[in-house]
Chains A and B, each alone.
Chain A
Amino acid sequence: MVSTLTRSERQAAIGVSVLVAICGLAFAALGRHDVLEIHGFLILAFGLLCAFAVINGYYEPEPTDERLASYYDAPIKAGIALSMAWAVFALFIGVWVASLLAWPNLTFDQAWASFGRLRPVHTTGIIFGFGGNALIATSFHVMQRTSRARMPDQFSAWFVLIGFNLFCLLSVTGYLVGVTQSKEYAEAEWYADIWLVIVWVTYFILYVRTIARRKEPHIYVANWYFLAFILVVAILHIVNNIAVPVSLGHAKSYPVWSGVQDAMVQWWYGHNAVAFFLTAGFLGMLYYYLPVRAQRPIFSYRLSILSFWGITFFYMWAGSHHLHYTALPHWVQTLGMTFSVMLLVPSWASAGNALLTLNGAWHRVRDDATLRFMMVAAVFYGLSTFEGSFMAIRPVNSLSHYTDWTVGHVHAGALGWVALITFGSFYTLVPSLWKRERMYSPALVEVHFWLALAGTLVYIFAMWNSGVIQGLMWRTYTEEGTLAYSFIDSLVAMYPYYIARTLGGLLFFVGAIIGSYNIWMTVRAVPLAADRGSDIPDSSAVAVAGE
C-alpha cells in the first residue's frame, strides 16, 4: 500500500495522520470530563497507527512512472475488504437487535447492549460501513474505467477511504457509550460530522478531477449517479448536522433547527439519504456491473436520462411524507405525497431499463448467480420504490406509519436492492480486480444467492404481516367506540413475526459470511488469469497522464 505512494504523498500521509493524532490528543485533553475523552484517545490511536504504517514503508522504493499507464486499484481492493467486514459485523448486530425484540433479555443487563444503542450500530454499520465502503470502492473503479483515466494521485483515494472509516468507527463506538444526536441515520455527533465533511469534499474533488481527465468524449450514466450521490449527500449532511456543541470539550451538541422545522430538515435529509446514498449511488453500481456481466448494451439511453433527472428532481421534495399526520402543515404533507407519486415512474424506468438490458442474456441470468444477484436487485428496486410511493399516500400511511411495515419496506430496499446489487457487483469485480480466472467457488456464490433471497423474503413477509396486523389493531374500534386492543395486545400478536424476522436476518447474515469467505479465498487461492484482456487506460495518452 505505502509502496504505491510517491515520496511526497508519503510525506503528506504522515503529515495528515499526525494532524489527526494531534486533534485526537486535543479532544482527549479538552474532553477529559466527558465521553469525548474516549473518542479523543481513539482518534489519537488511529492517527498514530496510520502515521506508523506509512513511516514503516517510507523508505520503500518509489513507484515508477509506469504506474501511470495502469489504473490505481489498491484502495478499491481495501474498500471491498472493509465493506465485507462491516457487512458481517453490522448484519450480526442486526440479527442481535432483531432477537432483542423477541427476547428482550438478550441485553444481558449491559447498558451498551440496549436496543437504543445497538440499533444505530446496526443501521450505521450497514448503511455507511457496508454500503459506503462498497460505494467508494466501486465508484473508484467505475470512474477510472468509464473515463479511461487513472485517478490523478494516489493519496486522495486513501484519504477518502480511511477517513471515511474513521467516521464510521467514531459513530459506532460513540453509540455504544451513549454519544448520539438522536437524529435517525445522522446520529454521529458534531466532531465526527465535521470530519466527514472534510472527507466527503475530498471525495467529490477526486471524482471530478478524474472525470476531468477522461479520454471518453461523453460521461457515462454511472458517473452521473455517483456524482449526484457524492454531491447531494454532502449537502444533506451539512444542512442536517448544523449544530452547536455544548463546548469544545463535550461530545453533546444541539441542532440549530428546532421543533417541526427540525423534523422537516431531518426527514428531508433522511429520505434523500435513501435517495442519493442508497439509490443513486447503487444505481451507479448497477449501470456498470450489470451490462458488463450480462455483456449486453444498456436498453435505452433515453430512458436513462428520463429516470436520472426524474429521480434527482422528485426525490428532493418527497421527504415530508415521513411526517404525515403530524404537526407539519398539511400543505407540506400534500406536496410530499404528490411528489412521491410522481417519483414512481422515473424509479420504475430505472428498474425497467436494467431488466430490459437483460434481454438477450436471460440464459446467463439462469446460469450465473452473480448476474442473478443483480437481476433480483433490480426487481426489488422496482418493488420497494412502488411500495414507497404507495406508502407515501396519506390514507395508506395512516395505516402503515409507525408500524413494522415501514421496517419491512426499508429492508426490501436495503437487503433486496442495496445488498444484492453490491454482492453481484463484488462477484463481478473481485476476479477482474485481482486478475483471477474466476471466483473461488461458483457453487458458494449460488448458495449465497439463495440464502440472501430466502432471508430477504422471510424478513419482508414477516414484517408486512406484522406491520399490517399492528396497524389494524391500533385502529380497530368496538361498536361502542372504544379501542378494541391495547398496545400490549399488538405486541403479543407480533411475537411470532419477530422470531421469523430474526430467522430471515440470520439467513442473510450466513450468506454474507459465505460471500466474505469466497472473496477471501478468491484472492488467496485462485490462480492468476492467463489473459484478462487489456484493462488499462489508453496507452497513447500516458504522456498526458504523466504530469
Chain B
Amino acid sequence: MAVEERDPVSGRRTTGHEWNGIKELDTPVPKGVLIFLIVTHIFAVLWWFLMPSWPLGDTYTKGLLDVNQHKTVEEQLVSSAAQRSSWMDSIETLSFEQIQADPELMSIVKSSGHQLFGDNCAACHGIDGKGRANYPDLTDDDWLWGGDVETIAETMRVGINSAHPESRFAQMPSFGADGILNREEVRSASAYVYSLSHEDYSTPENIGRIEAGKEVFIANCAVCHGENARGNRDLGAPNLTDPYWIYGGDLQTIVNSVHGGRQGHMPTWDERLTEGNIKILALYVHSLGTDEE
C-alpha cells in the first residue's frame, strides 16, 4: 500500500489502492469546481433570505421580498380582469346588434372566441366548428333550434337534454325498437325521407315503397318534422329535406335513426362560463356560418 506510484499520463500520484485493476489518482478537487460550488451555495443562501424558505415550527421565514404565491396569483387575477374590463364591460352590457356593429369588439370576439371555442366546444364540434360524425356542424347554416345569436346563446345557456332546469328537450323516438312501426314501415318511411334529399332515388322500382313511406311519415313523423318534413325549430326537429345530417344521410343510417331513435346531448354552460363568455361564443359561433336571420 505504501508503494508510491505515479500515473505516466498525468504525472499524478495514485492513492495507492487497487481494485481488480482499477486505481485512483490523488488529484485535488479542481479550483473551478470549488468556486462553482461556492457560487451555487451563495445563490441558495441569498434566495433563502429573499423568499419564503425555512420552517419555524408552525410558521416559516417569509423572506425580505415578501413574496407569496397565493398573493401573486390574486394580484395577477385582479390585474388581468382589469385589463379585460375595458372591453368585457361593453360585451356584457351592449346588445348583440350593438356589438356586431362595433368592428373593434368583433375582432376581440373573433380572437377570444377562437380560444374559448377550442377549450370548451371543439371536443365535440371540432376545432373548425364543422362537427363530426354524430355532432352537429355549426358552420352550415342549418340549425335545430335556430341560428340567430340570441337563440345560440340560449342553447348554450340551457343546453339540450341537459341537467339544466330550463333545458331544451328533444328526442327522436326509437320507432322500430319500441315496436311503434314494423320492419317494413321503418324501411319505407326511411326510403321516403331519403328520397326528399335525393331526387334520383325516386325511380319506378322505388316509387311504391316511397309512396307507402310517405303515408307512414304523415302519420308518425310529421307531428314533429312537419308535413313538408322541413322540421320545427320550436321542437328542435331537424329539416329532413336538406343535405345536412348530424348522424348521416345515407339510407342505412336513416333506417338506423328511425329504428333506434336519437337523443343528442348538449351540456349546459350556464355555470361554467361567464355571461360575457357565452355572449362571445354565441357571436363567434354565429360568425362561423354565412349568416342567417
A residues near B (Cβ < 8 Å) are: 145-146, 148, 216-218, 220-221, 288, 291-292, 296-304, 306, 310, 325, 329-331, 333-335, 337-339, 341-342, 344-346, 348-349, 352, 359-360, 477-478, 480-489, 492
Contact = CB atoms under 8 A, between A and B. Distances in A.
Interface residues of B, number: 56
B197 interface: no
A288 B111 contact: no
B54 A331 contact: yes
25 contacts: A148-B20, A288-B22, A292-B22, A301-B25, A302-B26, A302-B28, A303-B33, A304-B24, A306-B33, A333-B69, A334-B52, A334-B53, A337-B47, A341-B43, A342-B41, A348-B36, A349-B29, A480-B111, A480-B112, A481-B83, A484-B115, A485-B118, A486-B117, A488-B122, A489-B118
A61 to B, nearest CB: 31
B15 interface: yes
A539 to B, nearest CB: 15
Nearest to B82: A481
B44 A339 contact: yes
Given A297-B23, A300-B28, A482-B112, 15 more contacts: A148-B19, A218-B17, A298-B23, A298-B24, A300-B29, A301-B25, A301-B26, A302-B28, A306-B37, A330-B70, A345-B40, A346-B37, A348-B36, A349-B29, A484-B111
A349 B31 CA distance: 12
B34 to A, nearest CB: 9
Given A338-B43, A349-B33, A300 B22 contact: no
Contacts of B15: 301
Contacts of B103: none
B29 A302 contact: yes
A492 B128 CA distance: 12
Q: Which 8 A-B pairs have the closest CB atoms?
A: A486-B118, A360-B9, A300-B27, A338-B44, A481-B83, A297-B23, A482-B112, A331-B52
Contact of A486 (B55, B70, B114): B114
A102 B111 CA distance: 27
B21 A330 contact: no
B227 interface: no
Interface string B64-83: 00011110000000001001
A386 to B, nearest CB: 12
A353 to B, nearest CB: 9
Given A349-B33, A486-B117, A145 B26 contact: no
A297 B24 contact: yes
Given A341-B44, A480-B84, A482-B115, A145 B68 contact: no
B40 A341 contact: yes
Contacts of A306: 29, 33, 37
A391 to B, nearest CB: 15
A360 B9 CA distance: 6
Given A331-B52, A335-B54, A482-B112, A301 B47 contact: no
Nearest to A333: B69
A359 B61 CA distance: 47
B288 interface: no
A299 B22 contact: no
A489 to B, nearest CB: 6
B22 A297 contact: yes
Contacts of A477: 80
A110 to B, nearest CB: 21
Contacts of B144: none
B52 to A, nearest CB: 4
A330 B63 CA distance: 11
Q: Which of A300, A333, A360 has the most CB of B within 10 A?
A: A300
A345 B44 contact: no
A489 B116 CA distance: 11
A342 B19 contact: no
Nearest to A148: B20
Contact of B27 (A148, A302, A310, A344): A302
Contact of A217 (B1, B43, B114): B1
Contacts of A338: 43-44, 47-48, 53
B47 A334 contact: yes
B61 A331 contact: yes
A208 B40 CA distance: 35
B17 A216 contact: yes
Contacts of A330: 51-52, 67-70
B108 interface: yes
A410 to B, nearest CB: 23
Contacts of A299: 25, 27
A388 B13 CA distance: 35
A221 B19 CA distance: 10
A93 B118 CA distance: 31
B14 interface: yes
B169 interface: no
Nearest to B16: A218
B289 to A, nearest CB: 20
Nearest to B50: A334
Nearest to B119: A486
Nearest to B14: A297
Nearest to A223: B19
A413 B69 CA distance: 31
A487 B24 contact: no
A303 to B, nearest CB: 5
A359 B114 CA distance: 58
A302 B40 CA distance: 20
B272 to A, nearest CB: 15
A224 to B, nearest CB: 12
A478 B80 CA distance: 11
A219 B161 CA distance: 73
B10 A360 contact: yes
Contact of B40 (A331, A333, A342): A342
A349 B60 CA distance: 33
B49 to A, nearest CB: 11
A486 B47 contact: no
Contacts of A341: 40, 43-44
B127 interface: yes
A478 B280 CA distance: 15
Contacts of A486: 114-119, 122, 127
B7 interface: yes
